[in-house]
């Protein structure tokens, strides 16, 4: 349903302007994109989000009185709703962040991932195909659908293997990555079969503000400050390429602006590091910025737990195509990005407390409690 602000905004104000539609814009990456978009542009947007476990309206609190932001609580799989929004607001572009997006959760319960990431994407594509088919002239030629995906669709790399390029074959290894791979294939098929002007981005591991504290970096920060163990899977040598979320958002804006329909662009941070090194970096920053009362280092709280089933050993993104063709590269190094991230969590403890609902605490206990060595 439309929120109060959207209902109070006269249709003529928004419907006479060019605008975009964002799905999943209350989640981690989506909310950062929405906030940055409205900080950098006067173009309004419609934000469609189902508000599942990681969708959080508090991420968008700064926009509570902003008439350029129309929030709609709903599901991308609800064709009647998406058809109505497309007809009413006539967006020039759609950016699809909406997804169930956590490997561990997909292992415990894959069905939601199949329903949202595959079936939901199919229904969204069908609505968009009908809408795009109704457009004429410049509106039709200029329309874009940008699908945001993950490096996990490519599978796992050995240490000596080259990073994932856009031509790397798909070898997903978890229910989450398999569901995202299927959605990527659907998007590609709708371009090749129906001519739908699509763009796809596959990103590496994001980190930064508003990251739900079950993922590695925010979980380490939250647990460290709560004097809890810092759970590290297996030997901690799983390697990821870390991408600051605001860099990711700038890449999406650039792909939307200048990407070629039908193309895929890999977005990475050029920051390959083992998980254990990430944990030690977070601990060192907390030692500096928020020392423990007893003066001991936070790394003493590190606790190794049983690895998760099928844990991929290495992801790495080759981001040369987007730099070569679109002139994009990340602004942050890992050192600058992780310092900003830790400081954000220290400065926003109320946000952390508010997202730690009973359901969230129960899930973390289930996932990590079962793995204590």
Distance CA 97, CA 116 (A): 11
Neighbours of 250 (CB within 10 A): 19
- Predicted TM-score (pTM) of the model is 0.92
pLDDT of residue 5: 39
> What secondary structure letter does DSSP report for 172?
-
CA distance linking residue 224 with residue 210, whole number of Å: 18
> Can you list the pairs that 361-366 forms with residues at least 24 positions away whose Cβ atoms lie under 8 Å?
363/53, 363/105, 363/214, 364/214, 364/219, 366/108
Strand partners, 235: none
* SS3 call for 69: strand
CA distances from 126 to 91, 133, 189, 219 (A): 16, 11, 12, 37
Catalytic residues: 151-152, 176
Residue entry with tokens 């959080």: 56
**Pairwise CA distance, residues 291 & 225, whole Å:** 9
Q: What is the largest distance, in Å, between two alpha-carbon atoms of the chain?
A: 68
Which residues, at least 6 apart from 4, have a Cβ–Cβ distance to it below 8 Å?
none
Query: Where exactly are the structural domains of the chain?
Result: 4-208+244-270+314-331
CB-facing half-sphere around the CA of 120: CA atoms within 13 A: 25
- How confident is the model at residue 10, as a pLDDT? 41
> Options 3.90.1570.10, 1.10.10.10, 1.20.1250.20, 3.40.50.720; which CATH number does 4-208+244-270+314-331 get?
3.40.50.720
Q: Are 326 and 255 in contact (CB under 8 A)?
A: yes
Torsion of CA 111, 114, 117, 121, to 10 degrees: -130
Spell out a b/e string for 310-327, using b for 16 or more CB atoms within 10 Å of the CB, else e: ebbebbbbbbebbeeebe
CA nearest neighbour of 161 among 321, 315, 312, 274: 315
To 5 degrees, how large is the angle CA 312–CA 155–CA 194? 150
d(CA 268, CA 319): 5
Within a 13 Å sphere around the CA of 92, how many CA atoms are in the beta-carbon half? 16
Alpha carbon distances (Å) from 189 to 50, 153, 288: 25, 16, 50
Per-residue pLDDT for the chain (373 aa), expressed as one digit of tens each? Answer: 444 334 334 444 555 679 999 999 999 999 999 999 999 999 999 999 999 877 889 999 999 999 999 999 999 999 999 999 999 999 999 999 999 887 878 888 899 999 999 999 999 999 999 999 999 999 999 999 999 999 999 999 999 999 999 999 999 999 999 999 999 999 999 999 999 999 999 999 999 999 988 889 999 999 999 999 999 999 999 999 999 999 999 999 999 999 999 999 999 999 999 999 999 999 999 999 999 999 999 999 999 999 888 788 999 999 999 999 999 999 999 999 999 999 999 999 999 988 877 554 564 566 546 655 5
225 to 206, 229, 231, 343: CA distances (angstroms): 22, 10, 14, 13
Distances from the Cα of 266 to the Cα of 109, 130, 255, angstroms: 28, 28, 10
User: Cβ contacts of residue 156 below 8 Å, gap of 6+?
Assistant: 171, 173, 312, 313, 314, 315
Coil, helix or strand at residue 339 = helix
């Amino acid at each position: 349903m439309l929120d109060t602000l959207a209902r109070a905004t006269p249709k003529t104000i928004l419907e006479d302007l060019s605008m975009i539609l964002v799905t999943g814009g209350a989640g981690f990456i989506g909310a950062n994109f929405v906030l940055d978009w409205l900080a950098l542009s006067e173009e309004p947007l419609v934000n469609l989000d189902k508000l599942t476990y990681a969708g959080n309206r508090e991420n968008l609190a700064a926009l509570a009185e902003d008439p350029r932001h129309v929030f709609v609580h709903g599901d991308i799989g609800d064709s009647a709703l998406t058809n109505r929004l497309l007809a009413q607001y006539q967006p020039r572009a759609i950016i699809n962040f909406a997804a169930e997006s956590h490997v561990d959760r997909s292992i415990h319960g894959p069905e939601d991932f199949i329903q949202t990431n595959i079936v939901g994407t199919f229904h969204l594509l069908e609505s968009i195909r009908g809408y795009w088919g109704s457009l004429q002239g410049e509106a039709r030629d200029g329309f874009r659908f940008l699908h945001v995906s993950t490096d996990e669709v490519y599978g796992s790399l050995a240490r000596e293997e080259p990073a994932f390029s856009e031509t790397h074959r798909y070898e997903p290894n978890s229910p989450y990555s398999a569901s995202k791979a299927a959605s990527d294939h659907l998007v590609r098929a709708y371009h090749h079969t129906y001519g739908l002007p699509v763009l796809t981005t596959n990103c590496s591991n994001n980190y930064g503000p508003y990251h739900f504290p079950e993922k590695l970096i925010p979980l380490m920060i939250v647990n460290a400050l709560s004097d809890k163990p810092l759970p590290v899977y297996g030997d901690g040598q799983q390697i990821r390429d870390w991408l600051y979320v605001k860099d990711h958002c700038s890449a999406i804006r650039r792909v939307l602006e200048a990407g070629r329909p039908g193309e895929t662009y890999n977005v990475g941070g050029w920051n390959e590091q083992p998980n254990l090194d990430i944990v030690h970096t977070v601990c060192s920053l907390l030692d500096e910025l928020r020392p423990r009362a007893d003066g001991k280092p936070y790394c003493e709280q590190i606790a190794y737990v049983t690895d998760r089933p099928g844990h991929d050993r290495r992801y790495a993104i080759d981001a040369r195509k987007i730099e070569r063709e679109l002139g994009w590269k990340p602004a942050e190094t890992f050192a600058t990005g992780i310092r900003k991230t830790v400081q954000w969590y220290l400065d926003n403890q109320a946000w952390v407390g508010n997202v730690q609902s009973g359901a969230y605490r129960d899930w973390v206990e289930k996932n990590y409690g079962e793995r204590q060595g």
